[in-house]
Structure formats: C-alpha cells, structure tokens
Chains A and B, each alone.
Chain A
Amino acid sequence: MRLRKGANLFITLFLCIGAVLSFFPIYLAIINSVKTQGEMFASFTALPTKLHFENYSQAFSKINLLSSTLNSVIVSVIGIGGIIFCAALAGYKLSRTSGRLSAAIFSLFIASMLVPFHSIMIPLTRMAKALHVSGSTYGLAVIYIGLGVNMAIFLYHGFVKSIPRELEEAARIDGCGEFQTFFRIIFPLLLPITVTIAILDFLWIWNDFLLPLLMLTDSTKYTLILSTNTLFGEYNKEWSLILAALVLTALPVIVIYGFFQKFIMQGIAEGAIKG
C-alpha cells in the first residue's frame, strides 16, 4: 500500500521507539549482569567498562543451572512427547468415528479447555499426592500431559479432516492393522500440526511457574524457572547476581527462538486460528 511520506515517517518512528522500549529491559539486564554492584549503582544505563563474569559463575551455581536445566528438559520432553502420543491417537480416532459416544468424548475434552488452571489447582495437588506423582520431575511431566491433551486433541481433530480416508483404506487392504495404519501412514502425515503443538506446549511447559511451584518441594528437582524464583526471594538486593540468573534463564529460550523463529510464529498463528 502506498503511503504518504509523512505517514511513512510516523510509522517508522513509532516502530523504532517501540522496538527500543521492547528491548530496553533485556538490554538493561544484560549490561548490568556484567557489572560490579558499585559500577551498577553509578549508572544503570551506561555500558560496562570491564566485563565481570563472576556474577555468572555465582548465579550458575546458585540456581544449579545444569541440573535445573536438565529438569526443565526432562519435563518438557516427556510432557510434549506424551501429549503428542496420546492426543494424536485420540484426535485421529475421534475425528474418524461418527456416533454419539465419539461426539460425547470429544465434547468433554473440548469443554474442559475453558477450565482455568487455578480452579483445579487445589484438588490437583491432592490428586498428585494420592498418586505419588508430586515432588518428582517425571510426575510433573505426567501432569502436563493430563492438562495439555485436550488442546492438542482439538488441533489434531481438525487437521485429520484434511487427510483423505483412501490412504487408510489402502493400507488396510495391504494388511495393516489399525494401529499399524496409524503409526505408519497417518502419524507422519500429521507432522505439520505436530510441530505446531510441540511449539505451543514447549513455550507453555518450559516457561510455566505455578504448577512446578505447587508440585515440587525438593530443590534438586526444581525446573529452571523455579530455581530462579527461589534465588530472587533469597538474594533480594543483590541485583547483579539476580540479573545474571535472569539472563541465564531467559537465554536458552531466546536462542531456541532464534533458530525456530519461523516455525514458532507459524505455530502460534495456526494454533490460534484453528483453536
């Protein structure tokens, strides 16, 4: 669209100011994380004169970076894998089966998408205790599967409609069983929506705070976000240390974002429009 020069200039200016504001807190966190406390309080906005990485080494050990990142990875991988496995099976079959039972089960899944997490967190903690899944990284991952399948089923259910039935029939004639047909023929075809689901769930699980806070008590089991939260409470005024920890926590996601930008944005747009 052609715009007049004035309008174009205004838009550029607006976007540039917005971009600066958008990046400002991240910039501040990064530059101040490599300053000493004294240098920091002299000026927060000035660039550091010398790089002090001791904040990082301190933060590195205070938030148990390696083990808490590993915990986050375990929870995300099992959680996402489980959601995809369970939801692909169910979403596919529910989409292909007509009848009252299938419709009822599907509606039940979908209706529960409106239940806010905060409405179930109390009975959920009881349930987790009763099933002995609270306090463990793996248990936490399993809970994410339970909370995440409904959305994924919804997305799979919609996507399956675009896959021709003839493919399954052909596989059936060639002697494939139902599950074999699913895993050999259908599941690979679901890849685009699987990627979308994996991305949406990764952003959710990796960055989630409240569920780990409720479920985990042993600090060796903490996820990355939870470790950083504890640090914030304990070292309230040691800003250089805290900022280093914040940067360490935010960095992995930003790096991943750098690599998968296109897919992430596509995933969000697709998830929203189909959801």
Chain B
Amino acid sequence: MPVKRYKSVVSLLAFVAPAFIIYSLFLLIPTIGGMYYSFTDWNGLNRNYSFIGLGNFIEALREDPDFVHALLFTLKYVLFMIVLQNVFALVLAVFIETKTRTKGFFRTIFFMPNMISTIISAFMWTFVFSQVLPQLAEKTAASFLDQLWIGDPSVSFYSIIIVSLWNGVGYMMIIYLAALQGVPQSLKEAAVIDGASPFQTFRKVTMPMITHAVTICFFLTLNGAFKVFEVVYGLTGGGPGRSTQVITMNIYEEAFSNNFRYGYASAKSVILFVIILLFTFIQIGVMKRKEVEA
C-alpha cells in the first residue's frame, strides 16, 4: 500500500510540476513577495531595508491625498461600470436575440470593438474626443459636443466611461447572449399563452433563468473595473494633474516613475487586492442568494 501511494504522489507531482514551477516563479512567489515588501521601507535598490509594520498602509490611507483620491475615483468608476456595462450588454443581448435574421450582423458589430486592444481603443477615442467632436460641434452647432472631453476632469470621467463601455460591452453581451440561448423556447411560449406580455415574460421567465450569467458578468465587470489602467493611461494619462488617476496608475507611478518606493507601492497594491477580494465576496454572496431564490 505505501509503495502504491508513494507512486501516485510521484505521478501527481510529475504531471503538475511544469505548471507549478512556472506558476510559482511568476505568480505565487511575487504574490507573497509583494505582501512581504508591503511591510518594509524598501526602495527597490538598497540591500538594507527595515520592517515598518503597518506604516505604509497607514501612510497610504491617512497621509496620501493622491492615493485616496485615486481610490475614490476608481470606486466611482467601478460603480458606473457595473451598472452601465451590464445594463447595456443585457439590453443589447435581449434586443439582438429578437432579431432572428440580422442577429449575426449586430452581434458582429457590437463585439468588434472588443477585439481592439484597450490601449489602441483609447488612442482612437483620443482622436475622436480631441479632434473630431470639437469640429463636429463647430460644423453642426451641436453645442453639447463642444466639451473639454479630455481636459476637464469632471467631463473626462465620462469620456473614460464611454471608451470603457465601447470596448467592454461586447464581451458581456456575448455572455448574456449565450445565457439567453439557454432559456428553453417552450417556457417563453407557455408564458405567452398564459397571457404574459413580452416584458412580463422577460422579468418572470427569462431573468430568473439567466441569473448565473448576471453573477458572472457582475464579477467580471467588478474585477476588470478595479484594475482599469489602459483606458485612462491612453486617454488622459491620469491628468490633468492627477485628477483622473486610478489606483493602478497611482501604484505604477509610485513604483516605476516617481520615487521608486517599492515597499510603499507594494502596500498600496495589497490594499487594492484586499478591496477587490472584499467586493468580490460581497457581490458573489449577494448574487448567490438571489440565484437560489430564483
């Protein structure tokens, strides 16, 4: 018996080793390393550094207005994205689903922006916001187009949202479409025969059947939105000043372009990790309960 067990452990390890080694080097150890550095004042260069306990965390949350601003800005972005991205994606999916003949066409068009790299999308939209829209405003006298789309922090928040939606809605739409396809046609027909309006059918039959897709899409949006970087980097660069800076940019700047405070930046990234974990667990907890009810 022990020999057999020993053999099975060896065979398990043989199969898992390639993945585990490479994963340890580039994901596991860096994760642990980041947590370790977050309690130090390491600057990334010196051999000597000291443990400062929770010092970095306290400094980030209490004495770093830029970080707190980035944190709140990101939270606001996450909130907007969760609502808007899912509403748009679901509406598009439901609408497209009703079009049997042109379904493929619309699906293709709405998903296409998702194929384009986020940073490239941001550059394309920089062109639209900085050049095309002002000119259009001038030519058509549509004054609402004449905004400082990128230069005015209160407006550029919405520019960032627009580009993120343009880029991301298609992905969620595909997931919703797949879920909608899984709803048995007979159920919908039965509801119609019972006299339900299309809206009632959607609310009472379709919606409960696709809650799992809603959970997934909320999770994906939440996770993605907290990690937003490219859109902001390409569109506003976090500016003007640091007004549109998001958490990830703040961390990046702290570690790579500003003052090389690796320990401090690591603490900030641990804060980001904890926030994402917290929100994810809350979200999944709430949604799972809903799924059971349905």
A residues neighboring B (CB under 8 Å): 1-3, 7-8, 11-12, 14-15, 18-19, 21-26, 28-29, 32, 41, 43-45, 82, 85-87, 89-90, 92-94, 97, 101-102, 105, 108-109, 112, 114-124, 126-128, 131, 142-143, 145-147, 149-150, 153, 178, 182, 203, 206-210, 214, 225, 228-229, 232, 239, 242-243, 246, 249-250, 253-254, 257, 261, 265, 268-270, 272-273, 275
Contact = CB atoms under 8 A, between A and B. Distances in A.
Cβ-closest 9 pairs across A and B: A146-B26, A269-B178, A93-B15, A207-B117, A123-B33, A86-B19, A90-B19, A123-B30, A119-B269
Given A2-B198, A82-B22, A232-B123, 18 more contacts: A2-B192, A15-B106, A21-B166, A25-B127, A43-B135, A89-B18, A92-B15, A118-B269, A120-B30, A123-B29, A123-B34, A210-B252, A225-B119, A229-B119, A229-B234, A254-B112, A254-B116, A265-B178
Interface of B: 8-9, 11-12, 14-16, 18-20, 22-23, 25-31, 33-34, 37, 44, 91-92, 95-96, 98-99, 102, 106-113, 115-121, 123-125, 127-128, 131-132, 135-136, 139, 166, 170-171, 174-175, 177-179, 188, 192, 198, 201, 212-213, 216-217, 220, 223, 226-227, 229-230, 233-234, 247-248, 251-252, 255-256, 262, 265-266, 269-270, 272-273, 276-277, 280
Contacts of B20: 90, 105
A209 B117 contact: yes
B118 A209 contact: yes
Given A89-B18, A93-B11, A253 B116 contact: yes
7 contacts: A3-B98, A25-B128, A89-B15, A122-B44, A124-B26, A243-B124, A257-B115
B112 A146 contact: no
Contacts of B276: 114, 116
A14 B175 CA distance: 20
Main secondary structure of the interface of A (DSSP, over half): helix
Contacts of B18: 85-86, 89-90
Contact of A257 (B14, B112, B201): B112
A242 B31 contact: no
Given A1-B198, A15-B96, A118-B269, A273 B108 contact: no
B interface SS class: helix
A122 B262 contact: yes
Contact of A87 (B19, B139, B170): B19
Given A209-B117, A249-B120, A272-B216, A22 B109 contact: yes
A61 to B, nearest CB: 19
A174 to B, nearest CB: 18
B120 A250 contact: yes
Nearest to A86: B19
Contacts of A22: 109-110, 112-113, 166, 170
Nearest to B97: A1
A273 B233 CA distance: 31
Contact of A122 (B23, B34, B123, B135): B34
Nearest to B114: A203
Contact of B270 (A18, A94, A119, A269): A119
B175 A269 contact: yes
A236 to B, nearest CB: 10
A25 B149 CA distance: 15
Given A86-B18, A112-B31, A272 B117 contact: no
Given A14-B95, A102-B12, A127 B26 contact: yes
Interface core residue of A7, A22, A246, A270 (most chain B CB under 10 Å) = A22
A146 B24 CA distance: 7
Contact of B227 (A28, A117, A250): A117
A127 B33 CA distance: 10
A1 B98 contact: yes
Contact of A268 (B91, B131, B175): B175
Contacts of A153: 19
B127 A28 contact: yes
Contacts of A89: 15-16, 18-19
B257 to A, nearest CB: 11
Contacts of A143: 26
A115 B266 CA distance: 13
Nearest to B96: A15
Nearest to A124: B30
A123 B44 CA distance: 9
Contact of B108 (A239, A246, A261): A261
Contacts of B188: 1
Nearest to B185: A1
Contacts of A41: 135
B49 to A, nearest CB: 13
A97 B12 contact: yes
A208 B171 CA distance: 16
Contacts of A123: 29-31, 33-34, 37, 266
A209 B273 CA distance: 20
